[in-house]
Amino acid sequence: MLLFNNPDPLFLLGFLLAMVVAVTVHEFAHNYVAYQMGDPTPAELGKLTLNPLAHVWWPGWIMFLLIGFAPLGFAQMNPNRMRNPRWGYFYAVAAGPFSNLFLAVVFALIANIVFSPALLFAGPGASAANPLLIFLRLSVYLNCLLFMFNLLPLFPIDGWTMVYCLLPPDLAYTWGGWQQQTQYVLFGLIFLSFVPGFPPLLSYVVFNPATQIYFTLMGIG
């Protein structure tokens, strides 16, 4: 995992700060759009804020630091309280991953304005003493990663719910019946990523596309 590949304290601090920003905006986007769709739940729970303390799930962060995978935050939304339960819920769920793509674009623009291309793509040693460069590079990459990961159509990831909302009622009912099976697939993919010699399936569907988006946004795609 990226976090464990570089023990430099400045890198680790930049990683955690970038992740906190990414997760906070992701969860806020869910809640804000849900509220705009008519669901008062986010307001009742105090989630209409960019304060990380309102969104971060600390037990998940501890697990994340230990094994590299964990739910880092939750958005409590009730589609039955929305004006249009199907499409309101779809937009509220989709807002999370697409807010990460938006953040990746914003941080990439800032990075390209502040730093030269040669420095943006220099090796780790070239940026080791520049906290802003470390933060921007990590922010772009991690937001690309969260965008791709949350599009996976596997429960309980956002992508599963987006597919559920997009399907017509009869197919949505069938898709709902596959909820547990898709969750097993997710756990299997995560488990197999730790097995030496096994094909890195998560890399094929998440990390490789996220890396390509990262390079494109940073100017060399």
d(C-alpha 118, C-alpha 192), whole Å = 36
In contact, 56 and 24? CB cutoff 8 Å:
yes
Residue 27 is a catalytic residue: yes
d(C-alpha 115, C-alpha 156), whole Å = 38
In contact, 10 and 134? CB cutoff 8 Å:
yes
* Residue indicated by tokens 């779809």: 90
Residue 143: closest CA among 91, 76, 213, 220: 213
d(C-alpha 63, C-alpha 82), whole Å = 33
Confidence (pTM): 0.91
In contact, 89 and 77? CB cutoff 8 Å:
yes
Q: What is the pLDDT of residue 3?
A: 47
* Residue 4 in tokens: 């464990």
Residue 203 CB contacts under 8 Å (≥ 6 apart), including other chains: 193
- Tens digits of pLDDT across the chain (221 residues): 444 555 678 888 999 999 999 999 999 999 999 999 999 999 999 999 999 999 988 887 787 777 666 677 888 999 999 999 999 999 999 999 999 999 999 999 999 999 888 777 776 555 556 889 999 999 999 999 999 999 999 999 999 999 999 999 999 999 999 999 999 999 898 888 878 888 788 889 999 999 999 999 998 65
d(C-alpha 142, C-alpha 175), whole Å = 29
Angle (nearest 5°) at CA 113 between 147 and 50 = 45
d(C-alpha 147, C-alpha 140), whole Å = 11
Residue 147: closest CA among 29, 4, 26, 20: 26
Catalytic residue among 27, 107, 145, 206: 27
Q: Provide the residue type at 66 as one letter.
A: L
d(C-alpha 109, C-alpha 101), whole Å = 12
Q: What is the pLDDT of residue 1?
A: 43
